[in-house]
Structure 1
Amino acid sequence: MRIFDPQIILFVADTEGAARFYAALGFVEKFRAAGPDSTPFKIEMSLEGFELGLALPGPAAQEHKLTPVAKSHRACLTLWTDDVAAAYATALNAGAKDLEGPHPFLDGRLRVAFVEDPDGHPLQFVERR
């Protein structure tokens, strides 16, 4: 048995809107699946080998018998960067909600900032000092 190509899936209200947000941060779309009305129910994106799925909760519940949680801070996506302030500003310009601006962490060894994506998932940007 071989396990490969891990992916995190975030349940979102609007797959195309979420994909635009993550594209602004550098993610590239790799795959999309749409229903009969052409609305994508899942879009897969990639950044530096990290795979991210953006999925509508309804189809996942109906087809796979899941109980998706589409709100709350159930997980935090961490993105390392060489410029926390620029990543934070890019996210805000792309539609993120401010949680906490750039600040020192771990005795100043790191600089971090937190935002929520348009669906309320927290993102942490981290820079080594």
Structure 2
Amino acid sequence: MTFTNPQIILFVADVERAARFYAGFGFVETFRHPEVEPVKIEASLAGFELGFALPGPAAQSHGISPVTEGHRACLTLWTDDVTAAHRAALDAGAKDHRGPHPFLDGELMVAFVEDLDGHPIQLVERVE
């Protein structure tokens, strides 16, 4: 038995809006279904797969109970400039959670924002 291509799926209110937001971080769309008024879009960044799905159709099709509130998961994105990444995320509509701050005795600079559906995103820069 072999497993391949792991993917995280975020339940969102609008899959196209979520895909546009994450495109700002460099995610490239790889799949959408259906083409018009999609209920799921998948995107990739450096081999990491991220899906955006509407909770209603997922519940109906798969018999699951998507959670649509609170900090259900945290996406971490490493960057070479956490201050610029934080500013770009806010400019794209993200909600500020905690601005850039030192972490691990100053080894890292970290910031947190929430995407358009409230999922936390941790932006991390290694300080040299």
Q: Give yes or no for TM over 0.5.
A: yes
SS of 2:80's equivalent in the other structure is coil
Runs of 4 or more, structure 1, over 2 Å off, are none
By how many angstroms is 1:74 displaced?
1.5
Q: Where in structure 1 are there 5+ consecutive unaligned residues?
A: none
**AA of the residue aligned to 2:118:** G
Q: Where in structure 2 are there 5+ consecutive unaligned residues?
A: none
Question: What does the per-residue CA deviation read over 1:71-100, in whole Å, with 9 as the maximum and x for residues that have no partner?
Answer: 110210000111101111111111100000
RMSD of equivalent CA atoms: 0.9
State the match for 1:2 in structure 2: 2
For residues 9 and 28 of structure 1, the distance between their equivalents in structure 2, rounded to whole angstroms, comes to 15
Answer yes or no: is 1:102 the counterpart of 2:104: no
For residues 45 and 111 of structure 1, the distance between their equivalents in structure 2, rounded to whole angstroms, comes to 26
Residue correspondences, number: 127
**Please, what TM-score do these two structures have when normalized by structure 2?**
0.97
State the match for 2:66 in structure 1: 68
Identity %: 70
